[in-house]
Structure 1
């Protein structure tokens, strides 16, 4: 197999830049590169640089910020449905969420729009513009941090996050790279050598900003969303500037949006989409809380629990990392 830089047909300048960065073995590419403290694949690293240089935020922008495998599809769907509920009837059989991938409806800035040396024309996006990113808060463009645009962030219990991430990488990892065992992947995760990691630094960045600037960053845990979806959908709508009216609440609109964006509905609608519009299904596994008990040994649980206790100490951010 060719080296990743060559296989992706990168420019000479891009190759030189990547070679200047620390690198680690990748999960589904040959290498991860460390750029400004964050580990990413080659294409994403280069896209982040372009995103930082060129993206100009608008005050009305809404950005979904996550690490992979933490509820990205779910949060994208919820934000899209909330913001566009007057434009698209929630109970409409032809609602865009039933016919299009949430990853298309809320496009990623670093994973799609700024990839492959493309400078996207964002002028035709309807307002408010909806975007997504896996980038850690400190790496966001200055225009995002200094503007009044709003960021919604969801994070997940690291034990479940790791298991979900490993399952996806096993599915997507090229045979030429050889297998990636659970044990090896777990060691990489605990060292922070994971796409868009270390994850504790990622979540801490958004957590701290949600405390300092609550009007700027909305922070929620995946587990809390699952436990009381209605409450958090209502809070999310208020944060993004599209609160539910008394009549909407009485008519059950919150419940309808919650059902429309549920794992079961999105998984079912994915099956009915044409192949060219179906990508999320491969990314949707179980959507359960606590599946880690079926995969991790007690020593793994203790190791990651201790790491998270150390990294999150004094922040006020906690997770239930044991049964």
Structure 2
């Protein structure tokens, strides 16, 4: 935590930010390990070059104290937070007009307005360029945790494919995946199982559709292992030889993954990675059936910056962790999405999963 706080202050000095204000969000969790109870009672962490401390409801102070040694400025329900916030701002030494404050973009609006109203006409921005930027640059410990989660996720996905049998439901396969997580000390984050035409909905809600012979199967699943998330999509076929169209589409999607991996290099703008995948699919005649961005970051949250989209302007850096997940979705037929999480190294992307993207065939 001390190292991250030091890096944050260095970054604040680089961009001319006097104060960073974080709510009870994943920003706060990443920086301090504190994940306090969140309700309507204002709670925030303020960081300046001179001080770092919490505005903390007295009701929650004892529980939060177990996670940090940073000072608390507590307030009780009968008095309200104003005096405690004024004390905390005084400690941060950010009095005077026009000071620059970066506000957590995920903080409740009433918390943010409480802070801004207590300051003298501050210059406002979001924390995406300070805490958000630092979160995108994963260290060795984060890498190891994410890789371990990815490898367990590999096993769970294959447990799902192993459960395929005529007449089982999507929920049955989901249950097999979740059982593998639980048996190995992880918690399910989400699981999409799509049989046949259901795979053509990128965010299909796993349901009671029964598996029949000669159906495509899409499994997109992720867990948390020791707090670290995972996310991966694989596709397969249940029954006899897959249709020529399914094999063709799967080949195009794999080509799109390879194209995105090839251009993933430090210094590349994120939109170029999206363009590499998207143009591959467009050239094959399926451009209108690629319905979403190519990827998203992964760290504390399962979806976080950097986002790999056509409009993204982020310049990729060593340590970025993100998904590459192009897809083609054919209504009433099937969907094919192939997803891997990568960490960007000096010489290109390293895939965290150890599971090949080859189609899983289940007779």
Tell me, yes or no, whether TM beats 0.5: no
TM-score scaled to structure 1, two decimals?
A: 0.24
Q: Output the TM-score relative to the length of structure 2.
A: 0.22
Decide which structure has the larger Cα Rg and report it.
2
More helix by share: 1
**Greater share of strand:** 2
Which protein has greater RCO, CA pairs closer than 8 Å, 6+ apart?
1
